[in-house]
Chain A
Amino acid sequence: MTEQPSFDHRPDPELGAALWAALEPKDDHAAFAARVLAQYDHALDRSSVAMFDVLASWFRPGMVAAAAALVLGILLGRTVFQSPDPTSIDAAMAPVEGPGLAALVTAQDPPDASVVFTSLVEP
């Protein structure tokens, strides 16, 4: 190695001045500051507009999704509530004409809770 780095802790004024002259912008910094502030204002405006744009863009798909959910809910509800009526306590307790207690046991659909409670209270 022929050369050892000799670090200088002080800035080189001559080199610094030459570099400064080479890098210094020709226009004044006030114009640049005005430009940055204009961009700052523009960004603020754009962000508020963008928020409404986002909300607006969500509105239509949101309405479609809500309508689809409503229709699905109605169809599901109708399917559930159109199932046969559960066996009534009258039918279950009828000794001769009705299916009798066996109807409670063999019925495919669960009875109303009132049927069970009534059978316990009034044996």
Chain B
Amino acid sequence: MGSSGDDAGLVARTLAGDRAAFGALVERHAGQARRVPRALLGDPDDADDAAQDGFLSALVKLGQYDARRPFGPWLMRIVANAATDRRRRRNVRRVEPLDTSLVGGGPRPDAAAVRNELGDRLRAALAELPERRRKAVVLFDVEGYSHAEIAGILGIPEGTVRSEVFHARRRLRTLLADFKEPIG
């Protein structure tokens, strides 16, 4: 993730009509902007559509961005809302389809397969969490935002963020612990 100073420069150039600057801004923040919707929507194509919606929406609102503040949280708030909107439009309360062979604990030929299985299970476990909890834990443990920043992104009190992260971690850590022994 680039510095906020770099981001401010790219934002200024984008506002001046520099298409390449907008492209650089997108590429710089694409990682987190694609991962967070994945936690929410599950389907990678839907998630990328949501991330794209978020970037284009951010472009429209770019004049409202305060360059004295970090760009990442501002962008992530828009992307997270875009993902929520897309989820609502999809109008499916979708729990990620969980392959029964994964639940059944089938054969595990090697560590790579186990890691893949862990990934599948983590995505499935995320899908079972409430929407806000998913966002909170991914923003905290994957993207490295502080509780205060997440509170700003999600528009909820900081204490609620702590609670959401705690409950999400409890569920996910249990899952992770089940996989530690076979991997180790």
A positions within 8 Å CB-CB of B: 5-9, 11-12, 14-16, 18-25, 29-30, 32-37, 39-41, 43
Contacts and interface: CB of A to CB of B under 8 A. Distances in A.
A12 B141 contact: yes
Interface centre among A18, A37, A39, A41 (most CB of B within 10 A): A18
Contacts of A40: 19, 22, 56, 59
A120 to B, nearest CB: 68
B75 interface: no
B123 interface: yes
Contacts of A37: 19, 22-23, 26
Contacts of A30: 27
A5 B27 contact: no
B142 A36 contact: no
Nearest to B27: A33
Interface stretch (B5-13, B29-37, B99-107): B29-37
A30 B138 CA distance: 22
A36 B138 contact: no
A18 B176 contact: yes
Contact of A15 (B27, B52, B169): B169
A23 B138 contact: yes
Given A22-B123, A32-B30, A14 B19 contact: no
Nearest to A44: B19
B156 to A, nearest CB: 15
B154 interface: no
Contacts of B35: 20, 23-25
Contacts of A29: 27, 30-31, 34
Given A23-B39, A32-B51, A9 B142 contact: no
B133 interface: no
B178 to A, nearest CB: 12
B118 interface: yes
Contacts of A23: 35, 38-39, 123, 138, 142
A18 B166 contact: no
B55 interface: yes
Given A11-B144, A29-B34, 17 more contacts: A5-B162, A7-B166, A9-B147, A18-B119, A19-B142, A21-B115, A21-B118, A23-B35, A23-B123, A23-B142, A25-B44, A25-B48, A29-B31, A32-B52, A35-B52, A39-B56, A40-B59
10 tightest A-B CB contacts, nearest first: A29-B30, A22-B119, A16-B141, A33-B27, A22-B122, A23-B35, A33-B26, A7-B162, A23-B38, A5-B166
